[in-house]
Structures are given as structure tokens and as C-alpha cells.
Amino acid sequence: MKKILLITSLLISTLAASAQKNTSSSYIEKFRDDAIRIMHETGIPASIVLGVAMHESACGNSTLAQHLNNQFGVKGGGGAVFYKGHKKVHTAYKKYDSVMDSFQDFARIMTERKQFSHLADALTHYDYLGWAKGIQRSGYAGSRKWASQVLGIIKKYDLHDLDEKPEDQPKATDKPQLAETN
């Protein structure tokens, strides 16, 4: 009997882990073009836009993402009200008409708020490491692990491949070229 329970629990945990990966993959597929568009418009790396959204919204599964289209945990806008079951919930978080509106507001915050706007002036759209650390240092999240968590997502799902590199910079997946000798 114990073996059956052990096997059943292992199977359930494996399925849960698999479902999370599928959720992450489908989230990336669904919003990658929006993140790339924002990168071209604002200079914020697409990997940062997607990585932060995935982290803050649990790949669109958080309560804020589900009820408010808030992918980044942005507060303000006079607060919002939503229903969770039959319970009315008042929140200080911002409500958006669409996920894309949430993405665009995140980009606006990063480029227009004095707290973060220096990042767009100092960093390029392929320096996702500098962006993650700069966003954390500028006070976006209270956790000391925030940047490393976002960077972990970026690396795990190769989101840095969405950021355009200059011709002379190799992508993370490129192997260094050895000079030919004659």
C-alpha cells in the first residue's frame, strides 16, 4: 500500500512540474511578440519584459493576472475591485483592460519614472543582466533575490535569445570561434 501511495505521489508531482513547464512555454509563446515589440519601442530587453512578467504573475496564473490583467504587480490607479468566488476583494493593485496594456505600462514605468528612467539611458536592449540588477537596485521589489530569480527564468527558458544582439556580439548559444591558423 505504501508503494502505491509513493508511486501515486511521485506521478502527481511529476505531472504538476510538467504542467508548470507547459504553462511557462505557452506564456512565452503567447506574449513573446508583444515583448519584442516593446523592446523595439522602448529599448527594454524582451527577455526582461517576459522574465519579470513570468516571475511576478506566475506565468499569468496569479490572482492579479487572472482578475486584473496585472502581469507585473503594479500598484496604483485608485485600486481595483474584483470577485474571487462570491467574495468581493478590494486591492491597491492596478487593473488593466488587457495583458498588453499591462506590458505597456511596465515599459512606461521603466522609461518615464525618474526612479528607473536612468536605466534606459545607461543600458542597451541586449544587456538583460544590467537591466535586472538595475531594476532591483532602483527599488522595484523588496526581495534581495528578485534579480537572481528573474535572471533564473531568463536563462532557464533562453529568453535572452529574444534580445537582438549586435552583429559583433555572439549570442549566449553561440560557441566562440577559434582563429584559423595557416
Domain boundaries, given as residue ranges, for the chain: 29-60+99-162
Residue among 59, 41, 39, 40 at smallest CA distance from 49: 39
The pTM assigned to this predicted structure is 0.78
Residue among 23, 31, 26 at smallest CA distance from 99: 31
CATH architecture of structural domain 29-60+99-162: Orthogonal Bundle (1.10)
Kindly report, residue by residue over 61-114, the tens digit of the pLDDT.
999 999 999 999 999 877 788 888 888 888 899 999 999 999 999 999 999 999
Taken as a whole, the chain contains a residue count of 182
> Residue 146, Cβ neighbours under 10 Å: how many?
18
Q: How many Cα atoms sit within 13 Å of 38 on the Cβ side?
A: 27
- State what percent of residues in the chain have pLDDT above 90: 65
Kindly report, residue by residue over 6-42, the tens digit of the pLDDT.
565 555 554 454 444 459 999 999 999 999 999 999 9
